[in-house]
Amino acid sequence: MESGESLLWVGRPRAGVVFTGADVVMIPFSLMWGGFAFFWEAEVIKTNAPSLMRLWGIPFVLVGVFLIFGRFIYDARRREHTFYGLTDRRAIVVSGLSQRTTRSVSLKNLSDVSLTERSDMSGTITLGPQGAYPWWIRGMAWPGMSNYGPPRFELIGNARSVLAQIREAQDKAS
């Protein structure tokens, strides 16, 4: 933290496997992708096709495994290593599995703040414009995707209260 900066709130995202709105699209897509890739690879092996054909299907099978299972494990591990902070000047997101990345946003210059709330009062606060990505892409847990959008306080408890703290700190920072 910078000299004279006061910490107002710290938090972490919800732990474990979490289903999002993107899963309405991703689960059927992943099952179709994986099913076709597994079928392709099994048929190629069964018919004793050339080695190139056997090798060709392996990346598609691996992507299928990631889409069906791995993305949930990756997302849970990513959130397990994520920490949030709100000061009287900045919103801070510290994350990363293999290396730590710290992203901070000045509250004074922050124009777009949005809340997506769940029925249990948890939610995600997006700290900046969401961009042109459709809702089902924004919710995907694909390695590296979180670096391209605005920082977010993702799946935090009592999100509306944290949003009120952000807005109050913004008013004081102006």
Question: What pLDDT score was predicted for residue 3?
Answer: 81
Question: What pLDDT score was predicted for residue 140?
Answer: 55
Q: Which residue from 135, 154, 173, 142 is spatially nearest to 22, judged by alpha carbons?
A: 135
Question: What pLDDT score was predicted for residue 88?
Answer: 93
Give the domain ranges of the chain.
Answer: 7-15+83-173, 23-77
What parts of the chain have a pLDDT lower than 50? 136
Structure tokens at 163: 């949003």
Q: How many Cα atoms are found within 13 Å in the side-chain-facing hemisphere of 74?
A: 15
Q: How many Cα atoms are found within 13 Å in the side-chain-facing hemisphere of 104?
A: 13
Chain segment 9-46, per-residue pLDDT in tens: 999 999 999 988 888 889 999 999 999 999 999 999 99
H/E segment holding residue 43: helix 23-46
Residues 6+ apart with CB under 8 A from 48: none
Q: How many residues does the chain have?
A: 174
CA distance 34 to 39: 8
CATH fold of 7-15+83-173 reads PH-domain like (2.30.29)
Question: What pLDDT score was predicted for residue 5?
Answer: 87
Structure tokens at 108: 């004074």
